Structure 1
Amino acid sequence: MQSNNTDGKYNYFETGEGTPIVILHGLMGGLSNFDGVAEYFSKKGYKIIIPELPIYTQSILKTNVKAFAKWVKDFITHLEYDRVILLGNSLGGHIALYHAKMYPEKMLGLIITGSSGLYESAMGDSYPRRGDYDYIQKKAEAVFYDPAIATKEIVDEVYNMANDRIKLIKTLTIAKSAIRHNMAKDLPKMHVPTCIIWGKNDNVTPPEVAEEFHELLPSSDLYWIDKCGHAAMMEQPNEFNNLMNEWLIKINLTSDLAKPE
């Protein structure tokens, strides 16, 4: 089963049946960034759910990491799941981490890749040159080890965001929120089983960030992907899926533990 759903408050994609994995995209990321993950895990006994995060649609007061984490909790409750596995990339990883801090009772496990939460300098400094397409193209290419992955479609999306005044204001608001919600003090108290999958060539959140996450999170495992930048699930989907699957088996998250009653 595969479908795009709009039920009033929420737009989301879902496919497969089984233990729910809720996937949170990043600031520049669309739902399609996780096509490889959705296809692979929907065939392995998981229900993949990818909501469209309300990054540009909530009021400025609700445009922050904490409010997005609450939105995710409300979304999980709306779908009537008791507990889920959360997977997040970049800002989506930060929201997933904050959700795990606030609502550990909703968590079966957590997977982060290229996540913010400890190191945010890359988020807020990239958008001032609104009209400069070449500059934005270089910024988009720098996200990946292989710049060819930054297709014209991806660059156009970032360019359009940078030239939309409201979206730009909200992007900068989120960047400030990410810095404000630094999680270094929270992580040692968080015991949700966590899988950290990181590109060795990530320029946005460098490898030492992954090492710090691993050091601070008491129940974490760290996996590296070579020749890979900030969006491992897009750039090296096969290796990403294999590592994530290996971890899910390791911590025994392969059954229908979380199906609603």
Structure 2
Amino acid sequence: MQVVGVVGAGVMGVGVAQNLAQTGHHVLLIDVSEVILERAKQEIKNNLRFQGFFKKSEPADRPDEILNRIKFSSDYQVLKEAEFVIENTTEKWEIKQDVYGKIDAICPKNSVFAANTSAIPITRIASVTKRADKVLGMHFMNPVPMKPMVEAIRGYHTSEETIATAKKLLAQMGKECIVVNDAPGFVSNRVLMLTINEAIFVLQDRVASAEEVDRIFKTCFGHKMGPLETADLIGLDTILYSIEVLYESFNDSKYRPSPLLKKMVDAGLHGRKSGQGFYTYN
């Protein structure tokens, strides 16, 4: 596998594209906005430079060589060359439905589609394509280049051949995967989103400050980050979209989004990417 399409140049798309380029793949990074694409290019350039500062040994490729492996485009037609496509768009069904209709018509018949989604069922995504057996979920963790494990999701129609192809690509990226069955939120986000949402309720109810909530999880349970720090890293808008999908999917009140979470998203306090969430970032 040499040519991989990456749809969506947000936080996750940037991480996936960078990881692929660093492992020798030619990447087609697609987004509807030239402004977003230019920002993505600069972010990847900065990430590669910072990584160079911290690596003790000389990297195999120079940052400019890695960056040259990524083609930045707002034209979906370039995906006609893609052997594998990883989709990273916003966690809204209407957007994903439109994207999969487009790429299904453009990409080669044998191309595999992987949805890097937090909560939307893979079987539902596959249903809008004519290749349901070639669609799976590949839930990457942030920051993508530094996380060695991926949660892979088998949809109702996903073939074993597709799973094997995905495992092969992930191995080329220096990653392993745990394959789980399709259900809203899968394993990681079905548990994580509940934890984060409840931590926001705790903050809303003034039981403890954000710092105290996170410190309890880090010092009592040995977590590297607390739930509110994790929310800022993921993006509060993404957290809200994900918990809303779970609420809609299960019709269970335990997934009711915290009013504070909704308020912060409305106010544009999306976490690290906006400079302000539960914490302030420079």
TM-score bracket for the superposition, by shorter chain length: 0.3 to 0.5
Q: Which has the higher strand share?
A: 1
What is the TM-score when the length of structure 1 is the normalising length?
Answer: 0.33
Which protein is bigger by CA-based radius of gyration? 2
Q: Which has the higher helix share?
A: 2
Tell me: higher relative CO, structure 1 or 2? Use CA pairs within 8 A at least 6 residues apart.
1
